[in-house]
Structure 1
Amino acid sequence: MMIKDLGAGVASVWEGLRPITKKMLVGAMQSGGSNPPVNLVQTFSYDAHADWELSRLLSALDEQSKSFGKKNTEILNEISQLAETCVSVLESQSGSAEVFIQLAERAIKKHDYNKLDKLADRLSDRFSSGEIAEVVRQTDVPQIRAIAYETLALLPVQAILPLLEDPLYSDIAANALEQKAYEYDSAEARDLLDQLDSETEIRND
Protein backbone atom coordinates (compact mmCIF):
# COMPACT_ATOMS: atom_id res chain seq x y z
CA MET A 1 0.00 0.00 0.00
CA MET A 2 1.29 3.43 -0.99
CA ILE A 3 -0.04 6.13 1.31
CA LYS A 4 0.11 8.74 -1.45
CA ASP A 5 -2.45 6.70 -3.40
CA LEU A 6 -4.99 7.18 -0.61
CA GLY A 7 -5.38 10.88 -1.33
CA ALA A 8 -3.65 14.13 -0.51
CA GLY A 9 -5.47 14.63 2.78
CA VAL A 10 -4.49 11.22 4.11
CA ALA A 11 -0.93 11.57 2.83
CA SER A 12 -0.58 14.94 4.57
CA VAL A 13 -1.73 13.59 7.93
CA TRP A 14 0.40 10.47 7.54
CA GLU A 15 3.46 12.60 6.84
CA GLY A 16 2.89 14.40 10.14
CA LEU A 17 2.77 11.22 12.21
CA ARG A 18 5.70 10.40 14.44
CA PRO A 19 7.79 7.48 13.17
CA ILE A 20 6.81 5.41 16.21
CA THR A 21 3.11 5.88 15.42
CA LYS A 22 3.65 4.83 11.81
CA LYS A 23 5.48 1.72 12.98
CA MET A 24 2.66 0.90 15.38
CA LEU A 25 0.05 1.17 12.62
CA VAL A 26 2.07 -0.86 10.15
CA GLY A 27 2.65 -3.53 12.79
CA ALA A 28 -1.04 -3.59 13.68
CA MET A 29 -2.04 -3.98 10.04
CA GLN A 30 0.48 -6.75 9.49
CA SER A 31 -0.83 -8.58 12.55
CA GLY A 32 -4.38 -8.59 11.28
CA GLY A 33 -5.52 -4.99 11.48
CA SER A 34 -8.90 -5.30 13.12
CA ASN A 35 -7.55 -6.82 16.33
CA PRO A 36 -3.99 -5.64 16.98
CA PRO A 37 -2.35 -7.50 19.87
CA VAL A 38 -2.28 -5.50 23.10
CA ASN A 39 1.42 -6.22 23.55
CA LEU A 40 2.11 -4.70 20.12
CA VAL A 41 0.53 -1.39 21.15
CA GLN A 42 2.27 -1.49 24.51
CA THR A 43 5.60 -2.00 22.75
CA PHE A 44 5.16 1.39 21.13
CA SER A 45 4.21 3.18 24.38
CA TYR A 46 0.79 4.43 23.36
CA ASP A 47 0.23 7.94 24.69
CA ALA A 48 -2.09 10.94 24.41
CA HIS A 49 -0.24 12.21 21.35
CA ALA A 50 -0.75 8.88 19.59
CA ASP A 51 -4.43 9.20 20.49
CA TRP A 52 -4.56 12.57 18.75
CA GLU A 53 -2.59 11.35 15.74
CA LEU A 54 -4.80 8.32 15.13
CA SER A 55 -7.95 10.38 15.59
CA ARG A 56 -6.77 12.86 12.94
CA LEU A 57 -5.78 10.08 10.58
CA LEU A 58 -9.14 8.36 10.99
CA SER A 59 -10.94 11.62 10.21
CA ALA A 60 -8.83 12.09 7.09
CA LEU A 61 -9.47 8.52 5.95
CA ASP A 62 -13.23 8.82 6.45
CA GLU A 63 -13.27 12.13 4.59
CA GLN A 64 -11.16 10.76 1.75
CA SER A 65 -13.37 7.70 1.33
CA LYS A 66 -16.24 10.01 0.39
CA SER A 67 -14.30 11.47 -2.54
CA PHE A 68 -13.50 8.17 -4.25
CA GLY A 69 -16.10 6.67 -6.53
CA LYS A 70 -17.37 3.17 -5.88
CA LYS A 71 -15.36 1.95 -8.86
CA ASN A 72 -12.11 2.57 -6.97
CA THR A 73 -12.65 -0.57 -4.93
CA GLU A 74 -8.96 -1.32 -4.39
CA ILE A 75 -8.24 2.13 -2.97
CA LEU A 76 -11.43 2.09 -0.91
CA ASN A 77 -10.48 -1.29 0.54
CA GLU A 78 -7.07 0.03 1.53
CA ILE A 79 -8.62 3.12 3.11
CA SER A 80 -11.08 0.90 4.96
CA GLN A 81 -8.32 -1.41 6.21
CA LEU A 82 -6.23 1.45 7.56
CA ALA A 83 -9.30 3.14 9.06
CA GLU A 84 -10.38 -0.03 10.85
CA THR A 85 -6.86 -0.43 12.21
CA CYS A 86 -7.04 3.10 13.62
CA VAL A 87 -10.46 2.32 15.11
CA SER A 88 -9.25 -0.89 16.70
CA VAL A 89 -6.25 0.75 18.35
CA LEU A 90 -8.31 3.72 19.53
CA GLU A 91 -11.01 1.43 20.92
CA SER A 92 -8.52 -0.60 22.91
CA GLN A 93 -6.33 2.25 24.14
CA SER A 94 -8.12 5.60 24.23
CA GLY A 95 -9.69 7.12 27.33
CA SER A 96 -10.57 10.38 25.60
CA ALA A 97 -14.11 11.75 25.45
CA GLU A 98 -13.43 13.31 22.04
CA VAL A 99 -12.25 10.01 20.59
CA PHE A 100 -15.18 8.12 22.08
CA ILE A 101 -17.60 10.56 20.45
CA GLN A 102 -15.78 10.26 17.13
CA LEU A 103 -15.96 6.46 17.20
CA ALA A 104 -19.57 6.40 18.38
CA GLU A 105 -20.70 8.87 15.70
CA ARG A 106 -18.89 6.76 13.12
CA ALA A 107 -20.67 3.61 14.31
CA ILE A 108 -24.05 5.36 14.22
CA LYS A 109 -23.49 6.61 10.66
CA LYS A 110 -22.64 3.07 9.61
CA HIS A 111 -25.65 1.68 11.53
CA ASP A 112 -23.17 -0.58 13.30
CA TYR A 113 -24.99 -0.99 16.59
CA ASN A 114 -22.92 -3.99 17.60
CA LYS A 115 -19.89 -1.70 17.48
CA LEU A 116 -21.81 0.91 19.47
CA ASP A 117 -22.57 -1.67 22.16
CA LYS A 118 -18.88 -2.59 22.35
CA LEU A 119 -17.96 1.08 22.66
CA ALA A 120 -20.44 1.42 25.51
CA ASP A 121 -18.72 -1.47 27.28
CA ARG A 122 -15.35 0.24 26.77
CA LEU A 123 -16.75 3.43 28.26
CA SER A 124 -17.50 1.73 31.56
CA ASP A 125 -14.26 -0.28 31.55
CA ARG A 126 -11.70 2.37 30.58
CA PHE A 127 -13.06 5.86 31.25
CA SER A 128 -13.04 7.93 34.41
CA SER A 129 -16.27 9.46 35.66
CA GLY A 130 -14.97 12.86 34.56
CA GLU A 131 -14.33 11.70 30.99
CA ILE A 132 -17.76 10.06 30.84
CA ALA A 133 -19.33 13.33 31.96
CA GLU A 134 -17.23 15.10 29.33
CA VAL A 135 -18.81 12.87 26.68
CA VAL A 136 -22.23 14.12 27.78
CA ARG A 137 -21.01 17.72 27.79
CA GLN A 138 -19.46 17.60 24.33
CA THR A 139 -22.09 15.79 22.27
CA ASP A 140 -25.64 16.57 21.23
CA VAL A 141 -26.20 13.12 19.70
CA PRO A 142 -29.04 11.53 21.71
CA GLN A 143 -27.76 7.95 21.46
CA ILE A 144 -24.29 8.91 22.70
CA ARG A 145 -25.61 11.05 25.53
CA ALA A 146 -27.89 8.21 26.59
CA ILE A 147 -24.99 5.75 26.65
CA ALA A 148 -22.83 8.12 28.68
CA TYR A 149 -25.62 8.96 31.14
CA GLU A 150 -26.43 5.28 31.62
CA THR A 151 -22.76 4.50 32.22
CA LEU A 152 -22.51 7.29 34.79
CA ALA A 153 -25.70 6.15 36.50
CA LEU A 154 -24.29 2.65 36.89
CA LEU A 155 -21.16 3.91 38.66
CA PRO A 156 -21.01 3.86 42.46
CA VAL A 157 -22.35 7.02 44.07
CA GLN A 158 -18.88 7.78 45.43
CA ALA A 159 -17.53 7.92 41.87
CA ILE A 160 -20.20 10.44 40.82
CA LEU A 161 -19.98 12.58 43.96
CA PRO A 162 -16.83 14.60 43.04
CA LEU A 163 -18.50 15.75 39.83
CA LEU A 164 -21.10 17.64 41.85
CA GLU A 165 -18.34 20.02 42.96
CA ASP A 166 -17.27 20.77 39.39
CA PRO A 167 -19.24 23.57 37.70
CA LEU A 168 -18.76 21.90 34.31
CA TYR A 169 -20.30 18.63 35.41
CA SER A 170 -22.54 19.35 38.39
CA ASP A 171 -25.79 19.30 36.40
CA ILE A 172 -24.69 16.17 34.55
CA ALA A 173 -23.83 14.47 37.83
CA ALA A 174 -27.19 15.44 39.34
CA ASN A 175 -29.01 14.02 36.32
CA ALA A 176 -27.00 10.80 36.56
CA LEU A 177 -27.81 10.51 40.26
CA GLU A 178 -31.49 11.02 39.51
CA GLN A 179 -31.34 8.27 36.90
CA LYS A 180 -29.53 6.02 39.36
CA ALA A 181 -32.05 6.76 42.09
CA TYR A 182 -35.24 6.19 40.15
CA GLU A 183 -34.38 3.98 37.17
CA TYR A 184 -31.95 1.77 39.07
CA ASP A 185 -33.68 2.08 42.44
CA SER A 186 -30.64 3.26 44.40
CA ALA A 187 -31.57 4.29 47.93
CA GLU A 188 -28.10 5.80 48.37
CA ALA A 189 -28.60 8.05 45.35
CA ARG A 190 -32.06 9.08 46.56
CA ASP A 191 -30.69 9.97 49.98
CA LEU A 192 -27.97 12.08 48.41
CA LEU A 193 -30.46 13.88 46.18
CA ASP A 194 -32.66 14.61 49.20
CA GLN A 195 -29.63 15.97 51.02
CA LEU A 196 -28.73 18.19 48.06
CA ASP A 197 -32.31 19.47 47.85
CA SER A 198 -32.27 20.32 51.56
CA GLU A 199 -28.98 22.18 51.22
CA THR A 200 -30.35 24.13 48.26
CA GLU A 201 -33.45 25.11 50.23
CA ILE A 202 -31.31 26.30 53.16
CA ARG A 203 -29.15 28.43 50.87
CA ASN A 204 -32.22 29.96 49.25
CA ASP A 205 -33.85 30.92 52.58
Structure 2
Amino acid sequence: MMIEEFGPRVANVWNHLRTTTRNLVENAWQSAGSGSAPQVPRSAPYDPRADQELSQLLAALDDHAQQTEILAGREGAREARRLADACANVLSQQTQSAEVFAQLIVRAHQRNNYAQVDALAELLPERLAPSELCELARANHVIVRALAHEALTQLPTSLLAAVLRDPVDAMIARQALERQATEFGSEDAQRILREAIEGFEEHFD
Protein backbone atom coordinates (compact mmCIF):
# COMPACT_ATOMS: atom_id res chain seq x y z
CA MET A 1 0.00 0.00 0.00
CA MET A 2 1.61 3.25 -1.20
CA ILE A 3 0.00 5.87 1.01
CA GLU A 4 1.50 8.71 -1.05
CA GLU A 5 -0.89 7.75 -3.86
CA PHE A 6 -3.74 9.15 -1.77
CA GLY A 7 -2.40 12.69 -1.77
CA PRO A 8 -0.41 14.91 0.62
CA ARG A 9 -3.17 15.37 3.21
CA VAL A 10 -3.67 11.63 3.66
CA ALA A 11 0.09 11.06 3.70
CA ASN A 12 0.55 13.73 6.37
CA VAL A 13 -2.11 12.20 8.62
CA TRP A 14 -0.69 8.73 8.02
CA ASN A 15 2.84 9.79 8.92
CA HIS A 16 1.61 11.12 12.27
CA LEU A 17 -0.20 7.91 13.23
CA ARG A 18 1.22 5.90 16.07
CA THR A 19 2.42 2.42 15.16
CA THR A 20 -0.48 0.76 16.98
CA THR A 21 -3.04 2.82 15.06
CA ARG A 22 -1.28 2.22 11.76
CA ASN A 23 -1.33 -1.52 12.44
CA LEU A 24 -5.09 -1.39 13.00
CA VAL A 25 -5.61 0.23 9.60
CA GLU A 26 -3.22 -2.11 7.80
CA ASN A 27 -4.89 -5.18 9.31
CA ALA A 28 -8.31 -3.85 8.33
CA TRP A 29 -7.06 -3.13 4.80
CA GLN A 30 -5.68 -6.65 4.44
CA SER A 31 -8.87 -8.18 5.84
CA ALA A 32 -10.97 -6.17 3.39
CA GLY A 33 -8.80 -7.41 0.54
CA SER A 34 -9.26 -11.03 1.60
CA GLY A 35 -13.00 -10.61 2.05
CA SER A 36 -12.97 -11.24 5.81
CA ALA A 37 -14.27 -8.80 8.39
CA PRO A 38 -11.55 -7.00 10.37
CA GLN A 39 -11.76 -7.53 14.10
CA VAL A 40 -10.47 -5.24 16.82
CA PRO A 41 -9.39 -7.26 19.88
CA ARG A 42 -12.20 -6.89 22.41
CA SER A 43 -9.78 -7.26 25.32
CA ALA A 44 -7.90 -4.14 24.26
CA PRO A 45 -8.72 -1.07 26.39
CA TYR A 46 -10.47 1.80 24.68
CA ASP A 47 -7.96 4.19 23.13
CA PRO A 48 -9.45 7.66 22.58
CA ARG A 49 -6.29 8.85 20.84
CA ALA A 50 -6.65 6.09 18.26
CA ASP A 51 -10.21 7.28 17.68
CA GLN A 52 -8.95 10.78 16.99
CA GLU A 53 -6.22 9.57 14.65
CA LEU A 54 -8.54 7.26 12.73
CA SER A 55 -11.20 9.95 12.50
CA GLN A 56 -8.72 12.37 10.94
CA LEU A 57 -7.51 9.70 8.53
CA LEU A 58 -11.06 8.81 7.53
CA ALA A 59 -11.92 12.45 6.84
CA ALA A 60 -8.78 12.87 4.72
CA LEU A 61 -9.44 9.67 2.76
CA ASP A 62 -13.08 10.54 2.11
CA ASP A 63 -12.08 13.99 0.91
CA HIS A 64 -9.41 12.56 -1.39
CA ALA A 65 -11.80 9.94 -2.76
CA GLN A 66 -14.42 12.59 -3.47
CA GLN A 67 -11.95 14.84 -5.28
CA THR A 68 -10.49 11.92 -7.23
CA GLU A 69 -13.94 10.76 -8.31
CA ILE A 70 -14.69 14.22 -9.69
CA LEU A 71 -11.46 14.25 -11.71
CA ALA A 72 -10.96 10.60 -12.66
CA GLY A 73 -14.28 8.86 -12.12
CA ARG A 74 -15.42 6.31 -9.58
CA GLU A 75 -12.87 3.67 -10.57
CA GLY A 76 -10.02 6.08 -9.89
CA ALA A 77 -11.26 6.60 -6.34
CA ARG A 78 -11.83 2.90 -5.64
CA GLU A 79 -8.69 2.25 -3.58
CA ALA A 80 -9.11 5.38 -1.49
CA ARG A 81 -12.71 4.40 -0.77
CA ARG A 82 -11.65 0.88 0.15
CA LEU A 83 -9.09 2.16 2.64
CA ALA A 84 -11.61 4.67 4.00
CA ASP A 85 -14.17 1.88 4.46
CA ALA A 86 -11.58 -0.20 6.32
CA CYS A 87 -10.83 2.76 8.57
CA ALA A 88 -14.55 3.32 9.20
CA ASN A 89 -14.98 -0.37 10.07
CA VAL A 90 -12.26 -0.16 12.70
CA LEU A 91 -13.85 2.94 14.20
CA SER A 92 -17.30 1.35 14.29
CA GLN A 93 -15.91 -1.60 16.24
CA GLN A 94 -14.12 0.40 18.90
CA THR A 95 -15.26 4.01 19.19
CA GLN A 96 -16.81 5.41 22.34
CA SER A 97 -16.79 8.99 21.06
CA ALA A 98 -19.96 10.94 20.32
CA GLU A 99 -18.11 12.99 17.71
CA VAL A 100 -16.86 9.91 15.88
CA PHE A 101 -20.28 8.27 15.98
CA ALA A 102 -21.72 11.40 14.38
CA GLN A 103 -19.04 11.26 11.68
CA LEU A 104 -19.78 7.59 10.93
CA ILE A 105 -23.55 8.06 10.89
CA VAL A 106 -23.39 11.04 8.53
CA ARG A 107 -20.96 9.15 6.30
CA ALA A 108 -23.20 6.08 6.10
CA HIS A 109 -26.29 8.20 5.47
CA GLN A 110 -24.60 10.13 2.66
CA ARG A 111 -23.81 6.80 1.00
CA ASN A 112 -27.39 5.56 1.47
CA ASN A 113 -25.98 2.70 3.55
CA TYR A 114 -29.02 2.39 5.76
CA ALA A 115 -27.99 -0.99 7.13
CA GLN A 116 -24.85 0.63 8.51
CA VAL A 117 -26.86 3.53 9.91
CA ASP A 118 -29.06 1.02 11.75
CA ALA A 119 -26.03 -0.89 13.02
CA LEU A 120 -24.45 2.28 14.39
CA ALA A 121 -27.75 3.31 15.97
CA GLU A 122 -27.89 0.02 17.88
CA LEU A 123 -24.43 0.69 19.31
CA LEU A 124 -25.20 4.17 20.63
CA PRO A 125 -26.81 3.21 23.97
CA GLU A 126 -24.16 0.52 24.51
CA ARG A 127 -21.09 2.66 23.84
CA LEU A 128 -22.00 6.19 24.89
CA ALA A 129 -22.72 7.69 28.29
CA PRO A 130 -26.03 9.56 28.70
CA SER A 131 -24.24 12.92 28.59
CA GLU A 132 -22.68 12.02 25.24
CA LEU A 133 -26.03 10.91 23.86
CA CYS A 134 -27.41 14.28 24.92
CA GLU A 135 -24.54 15.91 23.07
CA LEU A 136 -25.51 14.02 19.91
CA ALA A 137 -29.14 15.00 20.44
CA ARG A 138 -28.01 18.60 19.93
CA ALA A 139 -26.05 17.81 16.74
CA ASN A 140 -26.56 19.80 13.56
CA HIS A 141 -27.37 16.75 11.44
CA VAL A 142 -31.03 15.75 11.68
CA ILE A 143 -30.37 12.00 11.39
CA VAL A 144 -27.77 12.09 14.16
CA ARG A 145 -30.20 14.00 16.39
CA ALA A 146 -33.03 11.58 15.71
CA LEU A 147 -30.91 8.50 16.43
CA ALA A 148 -29.57 10.04 19.64
CA HIS A 149 -33.09 10.80 20.88
CA GLU A 150 -34.11 7.23 20.07
CA ALA A 151 -31.10 5.86 21.96
CA LEU A 152 -31.89 8.03 24.97
CA THR A 153 -35.42 6.64 25.05
CA GLN A 154 -33.93 3.15 25.33
CA LEU A 155 -31.88 4.01 28.43
CA PRO A 156 -32.99 2.84 31.88
CA THR A 157 -35.36 5.33 33.45
CA SER A 158 -33.07 5.65 36.47
CA LEU A 159 -30.24 6.92 34.28
CA LEU A 160 -32.46 9.53 32.68
CA ALA A 161 -33.64 10.61 36.13
CA ALA A 162 -30.02 11.28 37.09
CA VAL A 163 -29.50 13.37 33.95
CA LEU A 164 -32.49 15.53 34.95
CA ARG A 165 -30.23 17.07 37.59
CA ASP A 166 -27.82 18.31 34.92
CA PRO A 167 -28.76 21.86 33.89
CA VAL A 168 -27.26 21.37 30.42
CA ASP A 169 -28.90 18.05 29.55
CA ALA A 170 -32.08 18.18 31.66
CA MET A 171 -34.39 19.24 28.83
CA ILE A 172 -33.26 16.41 26.55
CA ALA A 173 -33.55 13.87 29.38
CA ARG A 174 -37.04 15.16 30.09
CA GLN A 175 -38.04 14.63 26.46
CA ALA A 176 -36.80 11.03 26.62
CA LEU A 177 -38.71 10.43 29.86
CA GLU A 178 -41.85 11.89 28.31
CA ARG A 179 -41.53 9.43 25.43
CA GLN A 180 -41.07 6.55 27.85
CA ALA A 181 -44.14 7.69 29.77
CA THR A 182 -46.43 8.28 26.80
CA GLU A 183 -45.27 5.83 24.13
CA PHE A 184 -44.29 2.95 26.38
CA GLY A 185 -46.51 3.61 29.38
CA SER A 186 -43.61 3.57 31.83
CA GLU A 187 -44.97 4.19 35.32
CA ASP A 188 -41.47 4.95 36.61
CA ALA A 189 -41.03 7.65 33.98
CA GLN A 190 -44.44 9.11 34.82
CA ARG A 191 -43.54 9.18 38.52
CA ILE A 192 -40.17 10.83 37.91
CA LEU A 193 -41.75 13.49 35.72
CA ARG A 194 -44.38 14.22 38.40
CA GLU A 195 -41.69 14.50 41.06
CA ALA A 196 -39.66 16.81 38.83
CA ILE A 197 -42.66 19.08 38.30
CA GLU A 198 -43.46 19.10 42.02
CA GLY A 199 -39.86 19.90 42.89
CA PHE A 200 -39.83 22.73 40.37
CA GLU A 201 -43.04 24.19 41.82
CA GLU A 202 -41.75 23.93 45.39
CA HIS A 203 -38.56 25.71 44.38
CA PHE A 204 -40.55 28.74 43.26
CA ASP A 205 -43.12 28.75 46.08
- For normalisation by structure 2, the TM-score amounts to 0.91
The aligned counterpart of 2:107 is 106
Distance in 1 between residues matched to 2:69 and 2:25, nearest whole Å = 26
The aligned counterpart of 2:161 is 161
Cα 1:15–1:74 shift into 2, 3 Å? farther
CA contact (8 A) 1:21 1:50 kept: yes
The aligned counterpart of 1:131 is 132
The aligned counterpart of 2:197 is 197
CA contact (8 A) 1:181 1:190 kept: yes
Q: Map 1:25-104 onto structure 2 (within 5 A).
A: 25-32=25-32, 35-39=37-41, 47-69=47-69, 71=72, 73=74, 75-104=76-105
Distance in 1 between residues matched to 2:51 and 2:69, nearest whole Å = 30
The aligned counterpart of 2:181 is 181
3-state DSSP class of the match of 1:31? Answer: helix
Offset of 1:85 from its aligned partner?
1.0
Q: Tell me the alpha carbon deviations over residues 103-145 of structure 1, each in whole angstroms, 9 at most, x when there is no partner.
A: 11111111211111001111122222222122113x1222221
Distance in 2 between residues matched to 1:9 and 1:169, nearest whole Å = 37
Write out the 4+ residue segments of structure 1 that deviate beyond 6 Å after TM superposition. none
Distance in 2 between residues matched to 1:113 and 1:62, nearest whole Å = 18
CA contact (8 A) 2:39 2:93 kept: no
The aligned counterpart of 2:24 is 24
Q: Map 1:110-125 onto structure 2 (within 5 A).
A: 110-125=111-126
3-state DSSP class of the match of 2:99? Answer: helix
CA contact (8 A) 1:61 1:79 kept: yes
**% identical aligned pairs:** 39
3-state DSSP class of the match of 1:197? Answer: helix
Gaps of 5+ in 1: none
Gaps of 5+ in 2: none
Offset of 1:152 from its aligned partner?
0.8
Distance in 2 between residues matched to 1:172 and 1:8, nearest whole Å = 42
Letter of the 1:64 partner, please give it.
Answer: H
Letter of the 2:163 partner, please give it.
Answer: L
Offset of 1:88 from its aligned partner?
0.6
CA contact (8 A) 2:108 2:114 kept: yes
CA contact (8 A) 1:97 1:135 kept: yes
The aligned counterpart of 2:149 is 149
**Pairs aligned (count):** 202
CA contact (8 A) 2:69 2:75 kept: no
Distance in 1 between residues matched to 2:26 and 2:119, nearest whole Å = 24
Distance in 2 between residues matched to 1:181 and 1:29, nearest whole Å = 46
Q: Tell me the alpha carbon deviations over residues 58-78 of structure 1, each in whole angstroms, 9 at most, x when there is no partner.
A: 011111112114535554111
Distance in 2 between residues matched to 1:140 and 1:183, nearest whole Å = 26
